A and B are shown apart, each in its own frame.
Chain A
Amino acid sequence: MAPCKHMTRLLCKQIDGDITAEEQHHLDEHLTSCEQCAAAAESLRLMKKQLRQLPVVRVSDEFHIILRDRIRKSRIGYGAAKIEFPLLPRWTYIPAAGVALAVVALLLRPYLSQTDERPFSTRGTAVAEYLNDAAPEQVHYVIEDNPDSIMLSRDDSGRMRTDSTHTPRESAIGQRAGAVQVSF
């Protein structure tokens, strides 16, 4: 069904719809006398229609979740302090802002309130430094069986440091001398 070589350009111009009247006339004349090209013209036209009507695929349900996650991960790489969730529906913005405010308020509470007895809750090294600098009687610990909590232990010189050899779950308070579990 291969059309004549010198006709292929006009055949394609025809299905693109930008063929001039003169070219169309020239093509039509050829098509009446050439079976090969007539068949090609018809099948090109059909093919064009099929391609335009090709079933449309839609993204999977997880598409947005995965995209949101990739964006968030890429932002961590930039050291961005602010975490945004741009793909959440708009109506979630106000409750989300409320939750964010509550979290900030909780984190700042020890600083804002002079009478709060707890030291503060933060991660690893900062906690260890705080404990090292604080007088022992001022130190109160929040103890929970929480996988997010961190282990601290005293090194040979008696200073607190983060303890990566123990996970909080496997070390109950008091099992290991000088080990402290801090939740946050």
Chain B
Amino acid sequence: MNTAKTAKTAVSEPSDEQLIQRFQDGDLYAFEMIVHRYKNQLTNFVFNFLGNRIDAEDVVQETFLRVYKNKHRYKQIAKFSTWIYTIASNLAKTELRRRKRRKLFSISQLGFEDKDYDIPDSAFSPEKVIEEDFKGREIREEINKLPEKFREVVVLRDVQEFSYEEISRILHIPIGTVKSRANRGRLRLQKQLAHLLAK
């Protein structure tokens, strides 16, 4: 990574923790800066997890709304990024539950009960991702086919590049579990992407 840029950022811009502190003290501009800093990276995370752009933005908005309403729940002992990603990932999972319930309902309404219930997690809508190239789209589709618990870890680790420690705190699961899920998820994904990865 560009270390010079990182160093400059550290000097000239307030840290996330300073921003949330200022927001807790009533500075609304600090909240704006938090939104500015996190809107795209959170949208990417949720998009990779849910596979649907519109739903991803909706979840991210709800995340910011929770931060806005519950700003005093944040305590300086944790990293701010951990806190906001925990909120976003919980909301994204709630969205998945909601979709599954809705799909199960509509399937049973149609009377297809004896079919197997291998229901994909998402309504992937590639046409929404205008700027994305073909390969990127295909990779996202394959990520989306991973089981939920592998998917969230692979996205946080290999797309968002969080450390295992931070993923463990975001998802509230032991670090050993994070690692084994990352490994299993990667091997699966690698198998699914074999045609793209082969030279």
Q: Could you tell me which A residues sit within 8 Å of B by CB distance?
A: 1-3, 8-9, 12, 15, 40, 43-44, 46-48, 50-52, 54-60, 63-64, 66-67, 70-71, 74, 84, 86-87, 90
Contact = CB atoms under 8 A, between A and B. Distances in A.
A70 B60 contact: no
21 contacts: A2-B191, A8-B183, A12-B179, A12-B183, A12-B186, A40-B190, A43-B194, A43-B197, A47-B186, A48-B186, A51-B154, A57-B53, A57-B129, A58-B40, A64-B35, A70-B61, A71-B68, A74-B68, A84-B28, A86-B29, A90-B29
Interface residues of B, number: 46
A9 B183 contact: yes
A50 B139 contact: yes
B131 A52 contact: no
B28 A51 contact: no
B132 interface: yes
A43 B161 contact: no
A86 B28 contact: yes
A71 B47 CA distance: 22
B40 A57 contact: yes
B86 to A, nearest CB: 19
Most buried by A among B35, B53, B196: B35
A71 B43 CA distance: 18
A59 B43 contact: yes
B64 A67 contact: yes
Interface string B29-72: 10110010001100110011000010011001110110011000
B61 A51 contact: no
Given A8-B183, A59-B40, A52 B161 contact: yes
A56 B182 CA distance: 21
A57 B43 CA distance: 7
Nearest to A67: B61
B192 to A, nearest CB: 10
Contacts of A55: 131-133, 136
Q: Give the 6 A-B residue pairs with the shortest CB-CB distance, closest first.
A: A86-B28, A51-B158, A43-B197, A12-B183, A55-B136, A55-B132
